[in-house]
């Protein structure tokens, strides 16, 4: 989900990333609405509030809402900075780092809310700001690594694109276009996952309260854990193939061999000073 980048990503990569992150975005948005009476997965409404506060001359609130918008922007900035600066060293780390930061922010909101929250205005504004930074990180990351194909924290653009696609599908030539069909599948999966996350948050909040942020963090751990597993599994198989070709044992090859070749009575010997191919003439 995270290790592939831009045009090298498949439709399956984008659907997996889109559904999981959209589910978390929907959960975050409804949880923040129920707790803080404020949306935190997008800033469209906050721009309207900013304009209203400016027209009324409430400069303290202008500063607060302006800071919220900036933090969403800054989250996207940090996510893309991570991708473009660390991508050459480690694609996985570059793409996982913003998710790790998001998890830290959400855990901070959950822990503070569960044990310390006194429902004061200052606390509410600070926690909303932290959540906007977290969702900015998520939206910036998904858009950056998917070449702007996946945006999961709001559905305005998704709904617009789906309307356009469905109008195109009224003509047969577009219904047979695999690229358009794939895009429609991606957008539908994001929309459904977002709504499911919102419903889940609404149903469970009154039982979990601030603990819902732990559930969200667990979902994000699945996102970064999936690629960690796939990368290490690939490394595991590579080490095993290395052993099969060169008869040169490694710890990973030895474990793999023991697990998958229990019935064979073959031992792995220590490598000779001269490496020899298994298929070479002796």
Give pLDDT, residue 7.
62
Query: Higher confidence at residue 237 or residue 15?
Result: 15
Domain ranges of the chain: 6-230
Q: Is 23's pLDDT higher than 80? A: yes
Distance of CA 20 to the CA centre of its chain: 7
Percentage of residues of the chain with pLDDT beyond 70: 78
Residue 184: both structure tokens together = 């429609």
Res. 230 pLDDT band, cuts 50 70 90: low
The top-scoring range by mean pLDDT among 92-96, 162-166, 230-234 is 162-166
Taking the C-alpha atoms of residue 147 and residue 80, their distance in angstroms, rounded to an integer, is 11
* Per-residue confidence band for 265, with pLDDT thresholds at 50, 70 and 90: very low
| pLDDT for 9 | 75
- Distance (Å, rounded) from C-alpha 53 to C-alpha 51? 6
- The pLDDT assigned to 281 comes to 44
6-230 CATH fold:
Growth Hormone; Chain: A; (1.20.1250)
The whole-model pTM stands at 0.78
- 209 vs 104, more confident: 104
CA distance 92 to 110: 27
The residue written with tokens 């942020």 in the block is 213
Instruction: Choose between 81 and 242: higher pLDDT.
Output: 81
Question: Is residue 37 over pLDDT 60?
Answer: yes
Q: What is the pLDDT of residues 153-191, one digit of tens each?
A: 888 889 999 999 999 999 988 989 999 999 999 999 999
Q: Closest Cα to residue 214, out of 55, 49, 82, 104?
A: 104
**pLDDT, mean over the chain:** 82
On the 0-12 / 13-18 / 19+ scale of CB atoms within 10 A, 35 is buried
The pLDDT confidence band at residue 31, using thresholds 50, 70 and 90, is very high
Which residues lie closer than 8 Å to 223 by C-beta, 6 or more apart?
1, 2, 17, 20, 21, 99
What count of other Cβ atoms lies within 10 Å of the Cβ of residue 141? 31
For residue 85, what pLDDT is reported? 87
């Amino acid at each position: 989900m995270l290790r592939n980048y831009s045009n090298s990503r498949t439709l399956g990569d984008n659907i997996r990333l889109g559904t999981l992150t959209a589910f978390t975005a929907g959960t975050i948005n409804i949880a923040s609405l129920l707790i803080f009476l404020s949306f935190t997965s997008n800033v469209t409404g906050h721009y309207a509030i900013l304009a209203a506060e400016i027209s009324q001359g409430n400069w303290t609130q202008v500063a607060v809402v302006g800071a919220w918008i900036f933090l969403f922007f800054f989250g996207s900035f940090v996510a893309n900075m991570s991708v473009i600066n660390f991508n050459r060293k480690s694609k996985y780390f570059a793409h996982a780092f913003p998710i790790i930061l998001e998890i830290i922010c959400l855990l901070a909101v959950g822990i503070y809310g569960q044990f310390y929250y006194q429902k004061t205005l200052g606390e509410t504004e600070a926690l909303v700001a932290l959540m906007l930074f977290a969702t900015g990180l998520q939206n910036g990351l998904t858009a950056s690594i998917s070449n702007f194909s996946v945006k999961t924290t709001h559905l305005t653009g998704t709904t617009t694109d789906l309307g356009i696609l469905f109008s195109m599908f009224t003509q047969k030539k577009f219904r047979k276009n695999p690229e358009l069909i794939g895009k429609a599948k991606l957008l539908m999966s994001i929309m459904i996952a977002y709504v499911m996350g919102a419903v889940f948050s609404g149903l469970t909040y009154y039982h979990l309260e601030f603990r819902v942020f732990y559930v969200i963090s667990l979902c994000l751990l699945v996102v970064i854990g999936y690629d960690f597993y796939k990368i290490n599994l690939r490394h595991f198989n590579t080490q095993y193939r290395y052993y099969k070709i060169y008869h040169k044992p490694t710890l990973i090859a030895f474990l793999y061999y023991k697990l998958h070749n229990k019935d064979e009575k073959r031992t792995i010997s220590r490598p000779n000073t001269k490496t020899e191919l298994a298929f070479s003439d002796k």
